[in-house]
A and B are shown apart, each in its own frame.
Chain A
Amino acid sequence: MGLQAYLLLAAAVFAIGLFGVLTRRNAVGILLGIELMLNAVNINLVAFSRFNGDLAGMVFALFTIAITVAEVAVGLAIVIVIFRVRKTVEADRLDLLKG
């Protein structure tokens, strides 16, 4: 398989993630979409790294994984706090701020 196949796979995963972010109503679902988008980045990085014969991409992917985990941990914490106060995590019903 060539580089192109991997790039297409990554683009598909990224698009699915973006679709999830835009259409999901549940905050946890949106978080899952973001996770997918960042995993597409990892596929890209590792594929480029393999086909360029350059290790920096692998290092980049490791850093991306660590950052993703930190980000999602913060995101879930915010969702938990919202659930405690509002008893809902549906994005549609979080509409106190407008204007």
Chain B
Amino acid sequence: MSLEVGLATLMLIVFVSGLFSSGTARRCAGMIAAAGLLVLIAASFLLPPAGPGAGGAFVDDGLARFAKRLFLVSTFIGVLASLSLAAEVFSRRATEYYLLMLSSLLGMMVLASARDLILLFVAFELMSVPLYVLSGFLKREPEAIEAALKFFLVGSVSSAVMAYGLSFVYGVAGTTSLPGVAKALGSEPPLLVFGLAAVLAGFGFKIAAFPFHMWVPDTYEAASTPFVAWLSVAPKAAGFVAIFRVYLEGVGDRATLWLPAAAGLAAVTIIGGNLMALPQQNVKRLLAYSGIAHIGYMLVGLAAVSASGTAMVLFYLVVYVFGNMGAFLVVEAVARSEGAEHLGAFRGLAQRSPLLALAMLLFLLSLGGIPFVAGFWAKLYVLWAAAQAGLYWLVLLGAILTVVALFYYLAIARRMYIEAPARPEPIRLHPTLALCVILCALGVVVLGVYPTPLVLAALRAAAPLF
């Protein structure tokens, strides 16, 4: 629990720094937050694992530790990228921005450790509510607040559905602890099955699986891009960790109950995400739909219901953090220079800023799953785990739609490398944004060339769940 205490202390420091500064000086809150997150990342590797706390409701096992490092690293990149936002974006509200990001992070961290339904629900909401505020942070822009309203309405309805499901799970199991729920499942009462289905629907909204995805493209298009880069990875990862806790640790040995739902959800999410991404002209919307497709691939790993499948989802999440955040941050750099986010803004980028174009190409190849970039291994391992579990139809479907995905990823690459630029001058990159892009590119390349240590770490994290 020491990491969470450290994070809460950091939030307090950021809050106090906001009280004692004014105007644009408040942006130093972001630097304090970034420095604090760096310390927490180091602490997460150095601290020894602690025993379960709060009467077994809070655990510090391999899965929690793996997930927390992922959340911390992605939030660090998100905060760093937000430092590059112009002063008028924040309009004297920088403290609130970083404080909300950190409180959402606190929710994710607690969620990763929660082994009790009450704690799980509270942590889930602590993660979600700041996201609604942040997505409407640009409160003078009609699109941004409209997207925030949509996100809020969909998100809180899904929370209500999830809470309704949790109430049935509690009622039938007679306890709020997840090991207790697992014991109660032996008799399979219909109310419990209904409750678990409602909870899965609630999680589906949060990770943006296909029928529950409608808030994603609007929110991604309208909110500020560094925030969207973070929103597209960290809460999704937290949603998956919560799913692992409830559906594998809680009811893993009764997986036949929810396996068809997970496999079906994976299939429609892959198909829906990829097909809807094809006609998009706005790059942020395109990445939003492609992100939905990636969630589908991760659900394939979940549907495998095996230690290797779960581990490969964790590996996929790490790869997705670097690839997706990197792509969004390049879009931010281009959009800031061109004032537009449509595909045409990328025309001739390779001649204007060769390094930026190369970084974008790496991210696109990783997202598309081309060999020797990280995304290839992620897709390969997830499909492999599904094949081991005998889900051959899902493997075939995933492989076919990877080709469809290449079509729209390479459409961006074609504009960058083949078409002539509209303007010759290079794109000016804010230093912290450049640093974030470099970090993400490094992550994609290193994990692509040498994925073994991370794969082994993910296997170690997932093994105790089975």
Task: Tell me if A8 counts as interface (CB < 8 A to partner B).
Answer: no
Q: Are A97 and B146 in contact (CB under 8 A)?
A: yes
Task: Tell me if B133 counts as interface (CB < 8 A to partner A).
Answer: yes
Q: Which of B132, B140, B149, B168 has the most CB of A within 10 A?
A: B149
- Nearest residue (CB) in A for B174 is A52
- In the bound complex, CA of A38 to CA of B222 (Å): 29
Q: Are B152 and A78 in contact (CB under 8 A)?
A: yes
- Nearest residue (CB) in B for A66 is B122
Task: Tell me if B117 counts as interface (CB < 8 A to partner A).
Answer: yes
Q: Are A82 and B125 in contact (CB under 8 A)?
A: no
Task: Tell me if B153 counts as interface (CB < 8 A to partner A).
Answer: yes
Task: Give the interface segment out of B35-43, B157-165, B227-235.
Answer: B157-165
Task: Tell me if A96 counts as interface (CB < 8 A to partner B).
Answer: yes
> On chain A, which size bracket covers the interface?
35 or more
Task: Tell me if A19 counts as interface (CB < 8 A to partner B).
Answer: no
Given A52-B174, A67-B125, A78–B167 Cβ distance below 8 Å?
Answer: no
- In the bound complex, CA of A85 to CA of B125 (Å): 28
Q: Are A71 and B156 in contact (CB under 8 A)?
A: yes
Q: Are A94 and B160 in contact (CB under 8 A)?
A: no
- In the bound complex, CA of A99 to CA of B280 (Å): 8
Q: Are A67 and B160 in contact (CB under 8 A)?
A: no
Task: Tell me if B143 counts as interface (CB < 8 A to partner A).
Answer: yes
Q: Are B176 and A30 in contact (CB under 8 A)?
A: no
Q: Are A41 and B167 in contact (CB under 8 A)?
A: yes
User: Per-position contact with B for A66-99: 1 when CB-CB < 8 Å, else 0?
Assistant: 0100110011011101100110000000101101
Given A27-B149, A99-B282, A48–B167 Cβ distance below 8 Å?
Answer: yes
B160 cross-chain contacts in A, Cβ below 8 A: 14, 17, 34, 37-38, 41
B176 cross-chain contacts in A, Cβ below 8 A: 56-57, 60
Task: Tell me if A12 counts as interface (CB < 8 A to partner B).
Answer: no
Interface residues of B (CB under 8 A from A): 117-118, 121-122, 125, 129, 132-133, 136, 139-140, 142-143, 145-150, 152-153, 156-157, 159-161, 163-164, 166-168, 170-171, 174-176, 217-218, 221-222, 280, 282, 285
